[in-house]
């Protein structure tokens, strides 16, 4: 009986939290005519026409470059963060070097609103030609991902016994080869979850995508809104909904596939950050 | 043989260099520009002028409005999220423990960009084609202007809460699950009922995580930008201008670089203060 109430509350919460997603999904499956005549949650004649139309209007607004930009920016952003954080995490955990300045500094970035740096970064990017480039945005995503990546990596490395390093050293391995041959293979799980989270964070970023791009590096979070005004005259709500659904799919799929590891890493990272 | 100091240097140099270039240098620019007279024309040679920009910002009523909005928004959103998530985490625990995949259903909104959620509500709240006004007209016979001046705050804060309660829920659920069972058994042994168990054992045990969750949610909601920008542009009459939007607007719309930068530095100082508080708090937690 009490379980039944729990199911009810769960169902209610799940519907409430996911309501915008479900409602947009429904709208994207209605014809343009039905959207105007029938805003209810019941679809009279489901259709995929809106999804087809997205690609037919590619001459005015093309969704594919936006998706591609987001993909490149997110993948690079997660990769850069790993590249920078991994060796640092090793040194911090094994030698204590940087434990009192580098680690707390990076972890505290989580609490710093990055808009503080937005204006000077805009000027710097303009000066060096990084404005409206994928590389430029990937560097920003790297900043965003660093706190969680470093937190996850250092807590994982802490659990790798130091005896492994010592044994390899006796066999004459250099620090670099210890990192690459011993530590790296043992931290695959942490690398995977920080890549997943980094990818999701970067894909969903909006502020810097808006400020630092004009057209060639525009990510999908910014590009999606172009479809609201692109059709001339009234908004084509069906197409707009279909665009939103396509835009949210990649991080949603990745995130839900790895939801278990996201749960534990997010709480681990959050509790430490 | 250990990691040599040369190796220590080279392994941490990339991240240090990156942080100096991407955050240190921008902060320096922020500081310089904030005490300079600067326009888009003399960016490379700003003229030092003292604290004029700060005075102007502090005398700008819209700055204070934005600060008040962000504070109110951050506090409301984080407190409601916290209580909602705490209730769900504890009440649904038996269910979620038996069917872990249910958590994935609740987590879905966390994976979606706030900007896209904002776009969704543009449709959902639309007075002619939106589903919420439709049902309100159908059932109540009236529908408010959700993004009008008097309702914008409530609408925006509700959207924020509904998207990010799952985040708080996830953290609090994990914390609740990690309470050692011997604590509960000992309390039961002493004759504690469920309410006493919750108030005297479980909640105190979770308190550090609860406070941390509150801080994280407050900071994230305080700096809100994406969904507000997408839903109401940069503020209908200033009633829904957060601090982030204020800075953005001063720079991109007003071309008022000095003021935007001064506001950034002030925000930085406030964030530092909060971080210092957090550090002190977490250190105390470690020692107790």
CB-based contact (8 Å) between A24 and chain B? Answer: yes
Report the chain B residue with the minimal C-alpha distance to residue A113.
B223
Residue range A64-217, CATH number: 1.10.3720.10
In 3D, which of A213, A116, A211, A125 has the Cα closest to residue B247?
A116
The CATH number linked to B204 is 1.10.3720.10
Q: If pLDDT is split at 50, 70 and 90, which confidence band does A272 have?
A: very low
Predicted pLDDT of residue B148: 85
Residue carrying the six token digits 């659904």? A245
Predicted pLDDT of residue B234: 56
Quick one: CA dihedral B14, B18, B21, B27, positive or negative?
A: negative
pLDDT digits (tens, 9 = 90+) for B123-154: 999 988 899 999 999 899 888 889 888 899 99
The residue that leads in pLDDT, A210 or B141, is A210
Q: Is residue B260 part of a domain?
A: no
In 3D, which of B209, B202, B207 has the Cα closest to residue B93?
B202
pLDDT at A232 over 70: no
Rounded to 5°, angle at Cα B217 from B200 and B197: 10
- Tokens standing for A9? 């509350």
CB-based contact (8 Å) between B20 and chain A? Answer: no
What's the distance, Cα to Cα, between the start and end of chain A in Å? 40
If one counts the domains in chain B, the total is 1
Report the chain A residue with the minimal C-alpha distance to residue B112.
A248
CB contact under 8 A, A7 and B95: yes
In 3D, which of A76, A246, A69 has the Cα closest to residue A144?
A76
Residue carrying the six token digits 């269910």? B95
Mean pLDDT of A103-122: 92
A residues 137-176 lying closer than 8 A (beta carbon) to B = 139-140, 142-143, 146, 169, 175
Q: Is residue B105 part of a domain?
A: yes
B residues 260-279 lying closer than 8 A (beta carbon) to A = 260-261, 264-265, 267-268, 271, 274-275, 278-279
In 3D, which of B245, B210, B247 has the Cα closest to residue B227?
B245
Report the chain B residue with the minimal C-alpha distance to residue A24.
B120
- Tokens standing for B21? 């270039």
Phi (first) and psi of residue B226, to 5 degrees: -55, -60
Residue carrying the six token digits 């690459």? A180
Residue carrying the six token digits 């030092």? B48
Q: Answer yes or no: are the C-beta atoms of B116 and B199 closer than 8 Å.
A: no
Q: Cα-atom radius of gyration of chain B, to the nearest Å?
A: 24
pLDDT digits (tens, 9 = 90+) for B244-283: 999 999 998 877 889 999 999 999 999 999 888 888 877 7
> Which residues of chain B are within 8 Å of residue A124 when distances are taken between CB atoms?
25-26, 29
Rounded to 5°, angle at Cα B254 from B252 and B256: 95
Lowest mean pLDDT among A235-239, B19-23, B92-96: A235-239
Q: If pLDDT is split at 50, 70 and 90, which confidence band does A59 have?
A: confident
Q: Is residue B47 part of a domain?
A: no
CB contact under 8 A, B226 and A18: no
The residue that leads in pLDDT, A1 or B54, is B54
The alpha-carbon gap from A189 to the nearest alpha carbon of chain B, in Å, equals: 19
How far apart CA B214 and CA B184 sit, in angstroms, is 25
Mean pLDDT of A207-218: 95
Q: Is residue B111 part of a domain?
A: yes
Q: If pLDDT is split at 50, 70 and 90, which confidence band does A186 have?
A: very high
User: Can you give the residue range of the structural domain that contains B83?
Assistant: 64-241
- Tokens standing for A239? 């197409």
How far apart CA B118 and CA B242 sit, in angstroms, is 15
Q: Measuring CA to CA, how many Å separate A86 from each of A83, A136, A179, A269?
A: 6, 21, 9, 15
Q: Answer yes or no: are the C-beta atoms of B222 and A113 closer than 8 Å.
A: yes
The alpha-carbon gap from A49 to the nearest alpha carbon of chain B, in Å, equals: 18
CB contact under 8 A, B14 and A225: no
pLDDT digits (tens, 9 = 90+) for B203-255: 999 998 999 899 989 999 999 999 999 998 755 555 789 999 999 999 988 77
How far apart CA B213 and CA B169 sit, in angstroms, is 9
Mean pLDDT, chain B, as a whole number?
A: 90
Mean pLDDT of A101-120: 92
Q: CB-CB: which of B43, B107, B268 is closest to A259?
A: B107
Q: Measuring CA to CA, how many Å separate B281 from each of A19, A132, B199, B208, B250?
A: 37, 41, 22, 9, 35
Rounded to 5°, angle at Cα B72 from B175 and B65: 150
Predicted pLDDT of residue A21: 97
B residues 47-76 lying closer than 8 A (beta carbon) to A = none
Q: Is residue B279 part of a domain?
A: no
Domain segments of chain A as ranges: 64-217
Q: Cα-atom radius of gyration of chain A, to the nearest Å?
A: 23
CB-based contact (8 Å) between A251 and chain B? Answer: yes
A192-215 residues labelled b (16+ CB within 10 A) or e (exposed): ebbbbbbbbbbbbbbbbbbbbbee
pLDDT digits (tens, 9 = 90+) for B13-32: 999 999 999 999 999 999 99
In 3D, which of A67, A30, A68, A25 has the Cα closest to residue A50?
A30
**Across the strands, what pairs with B36?**
B48
List the single best residue of A113, A131, A235, A263 to mutate versus B (max B Cβ within 10 A): A113
What's the distance, Cα to Cα, between the start and end of chain B in Å? 37
The alpha-carbon gap from A54 to the nearest alpha carbon of chain B, in Å, equals: 17
Q: Is residue B51 part of a domain?
A: no
B residues 143-182 lying closer than 8 A (beta carbon) to A = 162-163, 165-167, 170-171, 174-175
Q: Which residues have a Cβ under 8 Å from the Cβ of B67 and sit 6 or more positions away?
A: B243
Q: Is residue B266 part of a domain?
A: no
Q: Is residue B152 part of a domain?
A: yes
How far apart CA A259 and CA B108 sit, in angstroms, is 9
């Amino acid at each position: 009986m009490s379980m039944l109430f729990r199911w009810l509350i769960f169902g209610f919460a799940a519907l409430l939290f996911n309501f915008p997603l479900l409602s947009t999904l429904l709208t994207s499956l209605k014809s343009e005519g039905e959207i105007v005549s029938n805003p209810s949650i019941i679809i009279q004649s489901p259709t995929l026409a809106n999804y087809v139309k997205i690609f037919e209007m590619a001459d005015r607004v093309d969704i594919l470059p936006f998706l591609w930009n987001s993909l490149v920016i997110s993948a690079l952003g997660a990769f850069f963060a790993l590249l920078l954080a991994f060796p640092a995490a090793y040194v911090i955990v094994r030698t204590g070097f940087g434990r009192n300045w580098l680690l707390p500094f990076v972890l505290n970035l989580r609490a710093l609103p990055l808009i503080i740096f937005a204006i000077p970064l805009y000027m710097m990017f303009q000066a060096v030609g990084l404005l409206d480039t994928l590389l430029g945005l990937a560097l920003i995503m790297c900043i965003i991902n660093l706190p969680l990546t470093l937190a996850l990596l250092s807590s994982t490395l802490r659990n790798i016994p130091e005896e492994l390093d010592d044994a390899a050293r006796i066999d004459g391995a250099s620090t670099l080869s210890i990192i690459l041959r011993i530590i790296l293979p043992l931290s695959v799980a942490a690398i995977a979850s920080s890549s997943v989270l980094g990818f999701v964070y970067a894909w969903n970023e909006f502020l810097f995508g808006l400020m630092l791009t004009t057209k060639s590096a525009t990510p999908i979070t910014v590009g999606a809104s172009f479809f609201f005004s692109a059709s001339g005259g009234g908004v084509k709500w069906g197409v707009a909904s279909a665009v939103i659904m396509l835009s949210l799919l990649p991080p949603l799929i990745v995130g839900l596939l790895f939801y278990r590891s996201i749960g534990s890493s997010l709480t681990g990272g959050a509790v430490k950050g | 043989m250990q990691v040599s100091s040369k190796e220590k240097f080279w392994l941490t140099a990339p991240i240090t260099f990156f942080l100096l270039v991407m955050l240190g240098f921008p902060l320096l620019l922020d500081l310089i520009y904030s005490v300079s007279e600067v326009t888009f024309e003399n960016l490379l040679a700003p003229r030092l002028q003292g604290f004029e920009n700060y005075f102007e910002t502090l005398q700008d009523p819209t700055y204070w409005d934005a600060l008040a909005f962000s504070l109110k928004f951050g506090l409301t959103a984080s407190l409601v999220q916290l209580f909602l998530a705490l209730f769900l985490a504890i009440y649904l625990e038996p269910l979620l423990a038996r069917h872990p995949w249910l958590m994935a259903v609740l987590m879905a909104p966390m994976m979606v960009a706030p900007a896209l959620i904002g776009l969704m509500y543009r449709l959902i709240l639309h007075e002619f084609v939106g589903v919420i006004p439709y049902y309100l007209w159908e059932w109540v016979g009236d529908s408010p202007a959700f993004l009008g001046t008097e309702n914008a705050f409530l609408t925006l804060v509700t959207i924020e809460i509904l998207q990010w309660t799952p985040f708080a829920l996830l953290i609090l659920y994990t914390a609740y699950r990690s309470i050692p069972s011997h604590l509960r058994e000992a309390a039961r042994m002493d004759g504690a009922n469920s309410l006493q168990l919750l108030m005297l054992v479980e909640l105190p045990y979770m308190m550090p995580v609860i406070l941390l969750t509150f801080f994280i949610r407050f900071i994230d909601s305080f700096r809100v930008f994406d969904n507000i920008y997408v839903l109401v542009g940069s503020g209908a009459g200033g009633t829904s201008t957060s601090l982030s939007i204020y800075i953005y607007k001063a720079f991109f719309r007003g071309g008022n670089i000095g003021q935007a930068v001064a506001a950034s530095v002030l925000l930085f100082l406030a964030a530092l203060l909060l971080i210092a508080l957090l550090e002190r708090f977490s250190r105390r937690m470690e020692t107790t």
